[in-house]
Amino acid sequence: MEIQDINKLRQKITFIVICGYILPVLLIYRQLVPFAWRFYLLIFAAVTIMAIARLDRFSGKELGFSKQNLQNSLRAIALPTLASAMMMVVYYTQNGSRIDNSAYSWSFYIFFVFLSSPLQEFLYRGFLFGIFTRAKLAVWLQILLSSFLYGLVHLIYKDIPTLILTSLTGLFWGFHYARYRNLYSVIISHSLLGAIAILVGLV
C-alpha cells in the first residue's frame, strides 16, 4: 500500500472514530441523547461498523473471528480472568456493592453476555485492530487507541472508578488481543468479568 493510500485510510479512520466512537458518547454524556438509549446506540454502531467492514472486505480472520490461536489464547486469558473474578467476589464479600445494580433483571445479563459483550469486542478490538493494522499503525498505538476508546464509552456512567477500571481492563484485553488476534477468548473473558462486575455492583 502506497503512502498516499495509507494517508487516505488514516483520514477515513479518523472520521469513523469521531462519528462512530466518540460522538455517540458525547451525545449521551451531554444528555442530548437519553441515557436509556445507550444500548440502542451500541447496536446501531455495531451494525454500521459491520456494514463498513463488509464493504471494505475485511475477512473473519482480520476481525479476530478465527480458530487460529484459539487454544493458546484461551489458556493465556483463563487464569487472569478467573483471578480477576475471584478478586471481585472477595471485594464484594468484604465491602458489599459499590453501586446498586439490583434493578437489572436476569434478561439483562443474558443480553450482556450474548449480545453486548460480543458487540463491544467486535467494535473495540476486532474492527479497530483490523483497520489500524491496515493503516500500518504500530501495535502499541493500536492497543492504546482501542483501550482509550473502550474506556471513553464508559464516560456516560459519570463514575470515575468505572472509567478507570474499564480502561485498565481494556488495556489487558488489548494486549491479549494484539498477541493472539483471537476475538473469541476476549469475548468470553469480557462476558464473565463484565457480568460479575455488574452483579456485585463494582461498576
Q: What is the pLDDT of residues 49-99, one digit of tens each?
A: 999 999 999 999 999 999 989 999 999 999 999 999 999 999 999 999 999
Residue 194 has pLDDT above 70, yes or no: yes
- Judged against a pLDDT cut of 80, whether residue 133 lies above it is answered with yes
29 Cβ neighbours under 8 A, 6+ residues apart = 155, 156, 158
Q: How many domains does the chain have?
A: 1
Residue 29 has pLDDT above 70, yes or no: yes
How many angstroms separate the CA atoms of 11 and 157, rounded?
30
Ramachandran assignment for 69, one of left (phi > 0), alpha (psi -120 to 50 degrees), beta (any other)? left
Provide the pLDDT for residue 2: 76
pLDDT band, very low/low/confident/very high, at 3 (cuts 50, 70, 90): confident
Tell me which residue range forms the domain holding 107: 3-199
The residue behind cell 472514530 is 17
Residue 1 confidence (pLDDT): 67
pTM of the model: 0.94
Residue 6 CA: distances (Å) to CA of 22, 76, 95, 141, 147:
22, 33, 51, 16, 22
CA distance 101 to 134: 40
CA distance 85 to 34: 31
Given a cut of 80, is residue 144 above it in pLDDT?
A: yes
Whether pLDDT at 120 is above 90? yes
Task: Grade residue 5 by pLDDT with cuts at 50, 70 and 90.
Answer: confident
Amino acid at 147: S
Rounded to whole angstroms, how far apart are CA atoms 190 and 85? 11
Q: How confident is the model at residue 135 (pLDDT cuts 50, 70, 90)?
A: very high
> Rounded to whole angstroms, what are the CA distances from 152 to 9, 25, 145, 181?
23, 7, 10, 22
Given a cut of 80, whether residue 123 has pLDDT beyond it is yes
